[in-house]
Structure 1
Amino acid sequence: VMGQLRSACRALLLQEAGPARTLAALDHFAAGVPGALCTTLFCGVLDPATGRLVYAGAGHPPGILTGPDGRVTLLDQGRGLPLAVRPGAERPEAECVVSPRSTLLLYTDGLVERRRRPLNEGITLAGEALQAGRNLSADALAARVMERLAPEDGYDDDVALLLYRHPGPLELTFPAESSQLAVTRGTLRGWLRRCDLPPGLVQRVLVAAGEACANAVEHGHRDHPGDPVRLCAAAGADEIRLTVEDSGRWKPPRPEDSRHRGRGIALMHAMMQEVAVTPGEAGTTVRMLTRIEG
């Protein structure tokens, strides 16, 4: 049943029907599917460029949104009856803006619903867990939410979570060629602007990332030019994390060879608050973190 409803929902959204019109059409579709009566659903369309989210609910628990300042908002507008209860009835729709470095949680009722406990209490606990973990990666935050809300004897219902942080992580793979560095820098700059960061912090992150990528190109792939370099950037509520990976080994820094070379790692440490360079058999990984002040 769920598979049929998901497929129908996806097909309708691809026609740009919008959440409210999609749920109205699903009412009629679900009425003809055995076992689909009273299915609950949250349907949303997100613009990843602007963070604008248009959504509608069919008897489903509200989405939970937490901003970088920790403020929790329930997406409890645009709510209607479960599917197929009143086919033909008009469906409401609402919208909000997922601001930079905010985190959105969607979930099934198995996460928050417990016997002899008000549903609102479970939703509040989910919001608190989301708020406390707003700097964690999506995987770590999902684990934290599941652990925080787990019953003493374990979950007795299926649980599904969907987490989104705006903007989503940046993942770039480019050939180890110096001509790619300017393009990579421009793409990273655009992503950082969407994170709503102070200009000075944007510049420091660009310098640190530029040094890590240049080292990966020059040293990590000096024997295999053109091999892939991978850059990942992710935002938390008040921190930015960068990872640069290559498949080679860096040369030890030798500042005495040149007055203007060999200082890349020192620059990374100067620009970022945490820097770790980890060599391995498969290549070198640079992990960096800086906190967002103010």
Structure 2
Amino acid sequence: MNVLTYSDEIRRALIENKPIVALESTIISHGMPYPENIKMALEVEQIIKDEGAVPATIAIMDGQIKIGLTKDEIERLGTEDDVVKTSVRDLPGVLAKELTGATTVATTAYAAHQAGIRFFATGGLGGVHRDVAEHLDISADLVQLAKSNICIVSAGVKSILDIPKTLEFLETLGVPVYGYETDRYPGFYFRETDQVVESITRDELAALMKVKDHLNMKQAVHVAVPVPNQDAMDREFIQGIIDKALIQANKKDIKGKDITPFLLSHIKDQTEGESLKTNISLMKNNAKVAAQFAVRYKQ
């Protein structure tokens, strides 16, 4: 049973050994409101093309994992009401029922690995939630990265999470973490946290990925890229809003896969849309950097 299907563009790119960048689809269906979600997805794909790589947005369509979407399929993901937020545990059920599913970081990483795509751009990683000792809430993103031979480029871990514990868990899983031309781990909405990371350049990352292939190591490499300075938010300001949003989520007993969309929506309202502007900016920047990595890796 073959559950992977490819767009014509991606099939040609794989045959011709072109640089490809995978993109998740949950950001379209659950991460941003309409019509900003559609506009962002199409602009991100164009940014990757402008850098000389091929974009591969991934989603579940008609009982198959679709590698590379058409404009109409992106519109469908961004407008349908019943799109399932599909993490790895949900994947068999969504496929068997032939539902429309948007892939999380974990599921996109799995699909990219299966398709032989080495680079993946996303906004922010899932990770270890705050109060983890109480709820043991750790994103499946981290576990899947330990099993996916990709380079995942993001603006760090989502700011709503426990960043130090997430980085510690990634170390335990053997997933190396680097900062793109920075030695401080980014804070998603803001440019840097207090967490020190090793800085890496484009050429160094390309060389590292080639050595990693030679060693046949299967875990991912995570490269964190600071949000562009002009769109970064003040650290204390956004942290205060996040803390209040977490209190609201706790009061309403919102947890599991529902907590991230709730928190992002709350943060967007409290920042009067500025957080959405930042989210779009960092996603575009991550896509550009990932495409540059992919092109350099193929040279």
User: Taking structure 2 as the reference length, what is the TM-score of the superposition?
Assistant: 0.25
Larger Rg: 1
User: Taking structure 1 as the reference length, what is the TM-score of the superposition?
Assistant: 0.25
Higher relative contact order structure (alpha carbons within 8 Å, sequence separation ≥ 6): 2
Larger strand percent:
1
Larger helix percent:
2
